[in-house]
Structure 1
Amino acid sequence: MNYNTKIRYDIIRNKNKFLYFSLALTIVGILSLIIFHLNLGVDFKAGTNMDISVSKSATQTEVNDVLAAEGYAKATPTVGGSGNERISIRFDEVLDNDQKNKVLDAFKAKYGDDLTSEVNIVSPDIARELGVKTIWAILIASVGIMLYVMIRFEWRFALAANISILYDSFIVIAIFSIFRLEVDLPFIAAVLTTLGYSINDKIVIFDRIRENLRFAQLKTDDQLVELVNASIWQTMARNIYTVLTVVIVTLSIFLLGSSSIKLFSLALLIGLISGAYSTICIASPLWLMLKRGQKQKGKAAGKTAS
């Protein structure tokens, strides 16, 4: 059958390269999570997060010295802002009012009384509850997406799509684990947003595969491979342009936005790129493998009946 499209690269016949690469990346991510775990922020780990704005430029060394003098050498400070006037400090312990005031007084003595602060405290119970709710949120979103695709298409499309979007979410988590980037509530929002954009890409290609299946008379495996390849290339431009539009915006936010949303935009950027990759190189080949399994069972049943 002539699909009136130019196949520039045979993605399906080279699917093993992509699947092995994805498997290797998944194994590295699993090992990183086992060995290093996630660098949990104060949202998921009991502790105190203190944001301080001072009236003059601060340096990392000065902040470290102030904290060490107050007995908080293990705290994790970050200096940012356009003029290095914003100081964010993460304490692993829950500070009481006296401890909090002691730290603020130390910074007032160093940088002057013109100081503003915001303190967020998360107790162990709240941190545990947030962690459990996060896991449930991702699971419910995944199941909901799988049911939607199953109703609109069929279970093979649903299974291939769900494996792919879970891969996208895992890649974001794995990269944050490997590079020890902080995981907080905006990170979870980025992962859930990734699920939405990723399934959108997959629906576009699956819809084209289903449409081509209606008019195709498939007699050989090569014809099925050709159909999937053609469907991928027929939707390639649309998928790339859609993802590229969002990537440009996200990259701009990451490069020009404030430090408070940098990790959110980075997680979203990783998820968008992974989603575009998995749509083409994982979801479609997985559906083909499942479809082949159905045809082989059908042939085996026919031979048994005869």
Structure 2
Amino acid sequence: MRFETNIRYDFIKNRGKFFYTSLALTIIGILSLIFFQLNLGVDFKAGTNMDVSTETAVTKAEVDGILNDTGFSHAQATIGGDNNRITIRFDNVLEQSDTKKVEDALTAKFGEVSTEVHVVSPEMAQELGIKTIWAILIASLGIMLYVMIRFEWRFALAANISILYDSFFVIAMFSIFRLEVDLPFIAAVLTTLGYSINDKIVIFDRVRENMRFSSIKNESQLAELVNASIWQTMARNLYTVLTVVLITLCIFFLGSPSIKLFSLALLIGLVSGAYSTVAIAGPLWFVFKRKQKVKPKAAKTTAP
């Protein structure tokens, strides 16, 4: 059995390299989460966030000086827009008098300002964290059920392991590099799940189609089938991912600072999804499938 496909690289033969590399990255991510945890934003821990718009350009040094003078030296300030938008994050819930104190100091320095204050209580932060975990679990379970219904349990298991790896990889990268985790980050993780499963279904659909018109007699033929299916869909998957990656890069470099981390998380997830599709999902299905016992065909009986 030969497929009319140029197999440029044998993903099945080299599956061990990908499995061990992915396992090593997963272990590093787990260790990072244990020792460093996540740099949670104000959405997931109690605190206060102030968004201030000014009529004149400001510098971070000027804002930090005002925070020091008002007794909030531990607050974190970032400058966005055309240097006229200030975001200040406080790690504790401020009273209205405290926010008014900061606002008055900014007004005295930069003139008239427009201020929006967002407060997250400890109860709200805990509730958001729990709902986020449930959202990811329900999305993963729904995807697994869909793949099981459309294909079979081996496809579903391989797909779910792969997309969970993609989600965890994004989380691990944010933990390792101490990037802030907020609600847009969760939206990026869930978006990653959608794009990732789309790539895997494309390959699995081609595997199923090739299985339908092939007679698999041994493990080497099964490996050739999976490799051929990967390369037959490689161009389509690459074009899809590259299109979204280009848009994401434009958002990251040209978009508002408030969505930079969202676009970065989505970018990491897209790259991981493209990798796991060809290096984890397909080879994993091969590992599960090759262990399946082929039932012998019933002997034909001839009429006397």
Report the TM-score when normalising by structure 1: 0.94
Deviation at 1:280, TM superposition (A): 0.4
Deviation at 1:110, TM superposition (A): 1.3
| Pair 1:42 & 2:55 matched | no
Deviation at 1:125, TM superposition (A): 0.5
Equivalent of 1:234 in 200, 213, 232: 232
Q: Secondary structure at the match of 2:217?
A: coil
Q: Give 1:137's aligned residue.
A: 135
AA in 2 matched with 1:120? H
Deviation at 1:153, TM superposition (A): 0.4
Name the CA distance, whole Å, in 1 between partners of 2:295 and 2:284: 17
AA in 1 matched with 2:232? Q
Deviation at 1:199, TM superposition (A): 0.3
Name the CA distance, whole Å, in 2 between partners of 1:261 and 1:281: 30
Q: How many residues are paired up? A: 296
Equivalent of 1:224 in 222, 225, 231: 222
| Pair 1:73 & 2:78 matched | no
Name the CA distance, whole Å, in 1 between partners of 2:78 and 2:176: 20
Q: Which runs of 5+ in 1 are unaligned?
A: 299-306
Name the CA distance, whole Å, in 1 between partners of 2:143 and 2:100: 48
Q: Counterparts in 2 of 1:74-223, with a 5 A limit?
A: 74-82=74-82, 84-112=83-111, 114-223=112-221
Q: Counterparts in 2 of 1:257-268, with a 5 A limit?
A: 257-268=255-266
How many percent of aligned residue pairs carry the same amino acid?
Answer: 71
AA in 2 matched with 1:49? N
Name the CA distance, whole Å, in 1 between partners of 2:115 and 2:28: 40
Deviation at 1:55, TM superposition (A): 1.9
Deviation at 1:68, TM superposition (A): 1.1
Deviation at 1:297, TM superposition (A): 10
Q: Secondary structure at the match of 1:64?
A: helix
Q: Secondary structure at the match of 1:294?
A: coil
Deviation at 1:150, TM superposition (A): 0.4
Name the CA distance, whole Å, in 2 between partners of 1:35 and 1:51: 32
Name the CA distance, whole Å, in 2 between partners of 1:218 and 1:2: 11
Q: Which runs of 5+ in 2 are unaligned?
A: 297-304
Q: Counterparts in 2 of 1:3-14, with a 5 A limit?
A: 3-14=3-14
Name the CA distance, whole Å, in 1 between partners of 2:46 and 2:123: 8
Q: Give 1:290's aligned residue.
A: 288
Higher helix share: 1
Q: Give 2:300's aligned residue.
A: none
Which digits, 9 at most, give the CA deviation of each residue in 1:194-222, with x for residues without a partner? 10110000000000001111111111211
Q: Give 1:304's aligned residue.
A: none
Deviation at 1:58, TM superposition (A): 1.6
AA in 2 matched with 1:4? E
Name the CA distance, whole Å, in 2 between partners of 1:202 and 1:16: 19
Q: Counterparts in 2 of 1:9-24, with a 5 A limit?
A: 9-24=9-24
Q: Give 2:299's aligned residue.
A: none
Runs of at least 4 residues off by over 2 Å? 295-298
Q: Secondary structure at the match of 1:12?
A: coil
Q: Give 1:25's aligned residue.
A: 25
